[in-house]
């Protein structure tokens, strides 16, 4: 009897974990003008030990390059197509026929996301159309017997109105009924996953005084947080964030939907005014997240001990054409030339002692001092002069000193005039959200570019 019981237990365990195993894969973003080809990328993805790759679309060259490999692939319906697909089964069918059918099964397409962080990044009208579009895509897949492909959509943490304490996790009231409930219903019915983008870097960087860096990097030995309502004790910020989503789903009546980490990671560099973006922290975070998520038996989170959490690190490459602050262009495990930014093994098989020592972090404290915003050397002259005009047209004498006869007119060069204009514009408008980026034409510097009687305005931190 005892033996029989054990046997049953064993069978049950092997069934429940059999369907999905722990793995860590990588997000293959393509927003760079200097990235390796899809064919070269396959070799790099394999060398990283990734079991799964997620792309932001359905680039046929990438889908073709991954054929006959063991790597699972996640593809995506772009946000822009959601409304039309939600209105037309025919369009859903044709999307699946041109983007999935020709590549399956040689390419192991296993996940299909309808939209990327739609609620965070696309107009409101699209939000309630996500689930209808997912249903139509699912139905098209069914027609082709592509039942192995799980359909979902990805969500960032900002779909929650409360995430602290984790037991208080609550979806935003404006989306709970029209978007989240139908989503959770769909995921339950189709046994799919809630795809979650989770970056402890951002809450830590926004409040490094209250949150310990070690806690954000899974390095905390003495800092823990006990949720006063659930009494669960947390040793890292990642678990806290994931569990806030678990509790939010539970609150809506869906306690069992599995979570798939669609993106997580830490920037290896950033702008001068961005704290903690460095190789040391990025390597530490990503190595620790891999260790946690590939552990056998699975660790799970405090609210879901032992649960398997399939995951994807962001990102394969540093992508030089991503807009926004510098960190956005520095989430890569690899440089665009294919070399590693730091040692990393997504299979979790390499112990930390198997990696080269890391450079000491230089920016774990907030930067204090002045920063200027300069044109980058070798920038496209046409684009630079329109950026100069834009900066100068934003009023309040931004560009007076570079007019003829004024102290910053000489040297009369596009580079120096643009640099003055960028610094002046940024120092005036940073408070209202202006950035020192200008589509990659500008960069921050801590070195005062002023000369003679020409004083460049600066931002002071
Ligand atoms: C959606 O459909 C409308 C009407 O047919 C069309 O004008 C529009 O270009 C389509 N949008 C996209 C992104 O394909
Ligand atoms: C719990 O979440 C609600 C919003 O959903 C918020 O108003 C409240 O302050 C949160 N409680 C705590 C203790 O943070
Ligand atoms: C935790 O340990 C670190 C390093 O040993 C120390 O600097 C820090 O003050 C400790 N924090 C607490 C809350 O004890
Ligand atoms: C690749 O690029 C990085 C960053 O620019 C550089 O440090 C490294 O030396 C390059 N490696 C090779 C092999 O060119
Ligand atoms: C320079 O920028 C202009 C306008 O932004 C663009 O049309 C042109 O193609 C660019 N030239 C090069 C060489 O990238
Ligand atoms: C220009 O400066 C004035 C006075 O400092 C201020 O009230 C106004 O909002 C500024 N205009 C712009 C476009 O920032």
User: Reduced to 3 states, what is the DSSP secondary structure of residue 444?
Assistant: strand
- Ligand 2 centre distance from Cα of residue 161 (Å): 8
- Among 157, 158, 162, 175, name the best residue to mutate to test ligand 2's pocket (greatest count of ligand atoms within 8 A of Cβ): 162
pLDDT at residue 18 tops 90: no
Has residue 293 got a pLDDT over 80?
Answer: yes
Taking the CB of residue 456, how many other CB atoms lie within 10 A of it? 22
Q: Report residue 2 CA to chain centroid gap.
A: 48
Is the separation of the CB atoms in 351 and 64 below 8 Å? no
- Residue with the bigger pLDDT between 2 and 186: it is 186
DSSP states of 320-383: TT--SSGGGG---SB-TTS-BSS---TTS-S-GGGSPPPPPPS-SS---SEEEEEEPTT--HHH
Please name the residues in contact with 393: beta carbons below 8 A apart, sequence gap of 6 or more.
none
- Structural class in CATH, domain 370-460: mainly alpha
Structural domain spans, the chain: 15-354, 370-460
Q: Is 80 a catalytic residue?
A: no
Query: For strand 258-264 and strand 233-234, is the pairing parallel, antiparallel, or unpaired?
Result: unpaired
Token pair for residue 95? 């999307």
Please choose, from the candidates 166, 184, 171, 187, the residue with its C-alpha nearest in 3D space to the C-alpha of residue 301.
166
Q: Would you state the pLDDT for residue 101? A: 98
How confident is residue 9, by pLDDT bands cut at 50, 70 and 90? very low
List all residues 6 or more positions away from 9 whose beta carbon is below 8 Å from its beta carbon.
Answer: none
- Residue 313's pLDDT band (cuts 50, 70, 90): very high
pTM of the model: 0.91
**79 to each of 73, 84, 228, 434, how far by Cα in Å?**
19, 10, 39, 26
Q: What is the DSSP string of 248-268?
A: HHHHTT----EEEEEEE---S
**pLDDT tens-digit readout, 165-189:** 999 999 999 999 999 999 999 999 9
Q: For position 21, what pLDDT does the model report?
A: 80
Sign of CA dihedral 251, 256, 262, 265: positive
Look at residue 385 and tell me whether its pLDDT is greater than 70. yes
Among 263, 328, 356, 365, the one annotated catalytic: 263
- Residue 456 is predicted with a pLDDT of 97
Peptide bond just before 297 cis, omega within 30 deg: yes
Q: What ligand 5 atom has the least distance to the C-alpha of 380?
A: 1
Residue 293 CA to residue 310 CA, distance in Å, equals 7
Confidence of residue 16 (pLDDT cuts 50, 70, 90): very low
**Average pLDDT of 92-120?**
98
Is 15-354 a CATH 3.20.20.80 domain? yes
pLDDT digits (tens, 9 = 90+) for 210-264: 999 999 999 999 899 999 999 999 999 999 999 999 999 999 999 999 999 999 9
Q: Which residues line ligand 2 (CB under 6 A)?
A: 161-162, 164, 168, 170
Average pLDDT over residues 201-217: 97
CA distance from start to end of the chain: 71
Give residues with Cβ within 8 angstroms of 156, minimum separation 6.
Answer: 117, 119, 120, 197
Q: Atom 7 in ligand 3: which residue has the minimum CA distance?
A: 222
Confidence of residue 14 (pLDDT cuts 50, 70, 90): very low
Strand order in the sheet with 459-460: 442-445, 370-375, 459-460
């Amino acid at each position: 009897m005892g033996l029989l019981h054990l046997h049953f237990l064993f069978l049950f365990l092997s069934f429940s974990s059999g369907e999905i195993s722990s793995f860590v894969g990588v997000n293959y973003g393509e927003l760079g003008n200097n990235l390796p080809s899809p064919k070269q990328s396959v070799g790099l993805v394999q060398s990283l030990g990734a079991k799964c790759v997620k792309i932001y679309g359905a680039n046929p060259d990438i889908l073709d390059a991954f054929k006959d490999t063991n790597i699972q692939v996640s593809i995506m319906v772009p946000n822009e197509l959601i409304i039309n697909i939600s209105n037309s089964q025919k369009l859903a069918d044709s999307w699946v026929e041109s983007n999935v059918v020709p590549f399956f099964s040689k390419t192991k397409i296993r996940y299909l996301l309808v939209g990327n962080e739609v609620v965070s990044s696309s107009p409101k009208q699209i939000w309630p159309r996500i689930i209808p579009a997912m249903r139509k895509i699912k139905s098209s897949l069914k027609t082709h017997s592509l039942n192995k492909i799980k359909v979902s959509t990805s969500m960032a943490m900002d779909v929650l109105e409360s995430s602290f304490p984790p037991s208080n996790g609550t979806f935003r009231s404006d989306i709970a009924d029209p978007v989240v409930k139908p989503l959770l219903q769909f995921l339950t019915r189709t046994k799919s996953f809630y795809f979650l983008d989770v970056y402890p870097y951002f809450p830590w960087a926004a409040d490094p005084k209250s949150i310990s860096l070690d806690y954000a990097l899974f390095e905390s030995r003495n800092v823990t947080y006990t949720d006063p309502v659930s009494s669960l004790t947390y040793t890292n910020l990642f678990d806290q964030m994931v569990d806030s989503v678990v509790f939010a789903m539970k609150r809506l009546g869906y306690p069992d939907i599995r979570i798939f980490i669609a993106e997580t990671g830490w920037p290896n560099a950033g702008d001068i005014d961005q704290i903690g973006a460095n190789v040391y922290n990025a390597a530490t975070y990503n190595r620790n997240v891999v260790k946690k998520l590939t552990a056998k038996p699975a660790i799970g989170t405090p609210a879901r001990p032992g649960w398997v959490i399939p995951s994807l690190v962001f990102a394969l490459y540093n992508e030089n054409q991503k807009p926004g602050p510098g960190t956005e262009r520095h989430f890569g495990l690899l440089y665009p030339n294919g070399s590693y930014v730091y040692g990393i093994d997504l299979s979790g098989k390499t112990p930390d002692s198997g990696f080269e020592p890391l450079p000491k972090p230089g920016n774990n404290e907030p930067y204090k001092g002045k920063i200027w915003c300069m044109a980058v050397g070798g920038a496209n002259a046409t684009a630079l002069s329109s950026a100069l005009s834009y900066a100068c047209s934003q009023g309040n004498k931004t560009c007076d000193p570079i007019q003829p006869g004024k102290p910053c007119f000489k040297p009369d060069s596009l580079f120096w005039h643009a640099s003055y204009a960028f610094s002046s514009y940024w120092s005036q408008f940073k408070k209202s959200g202006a950035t020192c980026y200008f589509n990659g034409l500008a960069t921050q510097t801590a070195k005062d570019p002023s000369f003679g009687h020409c004083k460049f305005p600066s931002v002071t931190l």
